Structure 1
């Protein structure tokens, strides 16, 4: 009697799959707790997402059992009338005995020509593989800034955005919604107000590991442009100091003029594929704020 071949298939993740997805990711990433994955998946359930695209990503099944997962985070960075659909290829894991089928996940996840795909957490050993898939680096490193040493932003006031805010003076509704949404994710959303106008920023707590030590810092998640952050860095730094945060980490391709700090390419490379160019300083609605650092 001939043994039956296992039924392997790849399909969209649905809400009933979330417990199995959290279990699978906990096995694949033992440094992350199950609560970490459950919290992030809940945020994906409740966050706004473009209609017609996967809300969670794709699941690899073997006879109905989850053996692989690729999380996707879709967002519209345009308008309803002129959408710009972006997709963050987030956490990926396939059980070792099914790694031969892993390409099923990556192929189906990158098949839409109108979508701009980004990978913001690629491990160094995977760079050649990612580039072979058509991705190109749009960010080569990180700048560890010390904003309190800057004189920029003197006299400016820093307003923290509450998670239950409804609107923000001086900001367009779409940008106000972004700041409020990220405050609900647990990020620090602020508006720096000066005579030059409001500057919206989103930052997230980050622990930078150096050997056995972890240094508290903030990751810049959103700004209109790096020059906006530079122009108010001193005000931001003085706001953060009493909160025990000295450094703000910024995506960069080299040292940033007007800021004190250190640039490195040992970490921070980010990749993009699709119709839109990458933009430094915009990690909104990606795995960092949705799942946490």
Structure 2
């Protein structure tokens, strides 16, 4: 365990972003450049964020990082503040100090906290800290070129989205338009519309999967799944769609996914069905 008078935990400020980004590119995920990490650290939506997370420094050198992505949402007519615990990376020699970063983030009052990509020992730490797991039971749906319902339209055209989306959906669309990992389409059926947010995901080193993160009208999404899958194959060259059962059910041709990636949250007020995956690392970080 590293010790020393120069060891400190402090908030990540705007002045720290470049140094933190270089650390994450070198120590966590080298597929992303330092420039990409820097862009992901600062989300594009307007929010009064107290920091960008917390860092562990030894005599001024970054040796650990806990990113945090903040947002404010209206839930049942009430403003709720969210803190998404994003990338957590600590050098091996300082590993026993890593929980100090997490506790510093959680010590901030008034937030619902989400951790949408915990792994390994992080899951056990979160459980001890009273996090609750989402039901992430998921299916894989092959993306096939055929579509059967010609009354359903799908577009990513921003002009079309701006003209047709409801006010609430339009706000979500605009907030995520500059996110590096978020892709958006609108499903239309007559006057009904559904905003779908998804990301390009990687499985077994193959980056050709669409992971659905959000749908404003799940019932319309379920009806339009064949058309959406054909669209994703044709437009994005994505070979399959990954989605949670609680969002899409188990349509014909679905394959249950073993070892689903776990997701967790901690809140004094909200339940799992009131918390989604927007405004998070899943939309901001294109790993």
- TM (norm. structure 1) is 0.83
Q: How far did residue 158 of structure 1 move?
A: 1.1
Shift of 1:52: 4.9
Q: 1:272 to 1:140 in 2, by over 3 A?
A: same
Pick aligned residue for 1:177 from 171, 182, 188:
171
1-structure distance, mates of 2:82, 2:243: 21
Matches for 1:112-131 after TM superposition, within 5 Å: 112-131=108-127
> Gaps spanning 5+ residues in structure 2: where?
none
Which sits farther off after the overlay, 250-259 or 15-24? 250-259
Preserved CA contact (<8 Å) 1:150 1:260: no
Equivalences for residues 21-32 of structure 1 within 5 A: 21-32=20-31
Query: In 2 relative to 1, CA 153–72 (structure 1 residues): closer, same or farther, beyond 3 Å?
Result: farther
1:45 and 2:38 correspond: no
CA displacement, residues 46-94 of structure 1 (integer Å, 9 cap, x when unaligned):
622432532x111112222222110011111217x83111221111112
1:214/1:92 CA distance change after superposition, 3 Å: same
Aligned residues: 281
Provide the residue aligned with 1:201 in structure 2. 196
Q: State the match for 2:270 in structure 1.
A: 276
For residues 114-154 of structure 1, give each alpha carbon's deviation from its aligned partner in whole angstroms, at most 9, with x where no partner exists: 21111111114432222111111113332212364897754
Shift of 1:113: 4.3
Distance 1:208 1:141, change over 3 A: same
- The root-mean-square deviation of aligned C-alpha atoms, in Å, is 2.9
- Residue 264 in structure 1 maps to residue 257 in structure 2: yes
Unpaired segments ≥5 residues, structure 1: none
Deviation at 1:169, TM superposition (A): 2.4
Q: How does 1:151-162 map to 2 (within 5 A)?
A: 153-162=149-158
Structure 1 residues 221 and 161: alpha-carbon distance in aligned structure 2, compared to 1, 3 A threshold: farther
Describe the shift of the 1:245–1:280 C-alpha distance in structure 2 as closer, same or farther (beyond 3 A).
Answer: farther
The normalised TM-score by structure 2 is 0.85
Are positions 1:236 and 2:231 aligned together?
A: no
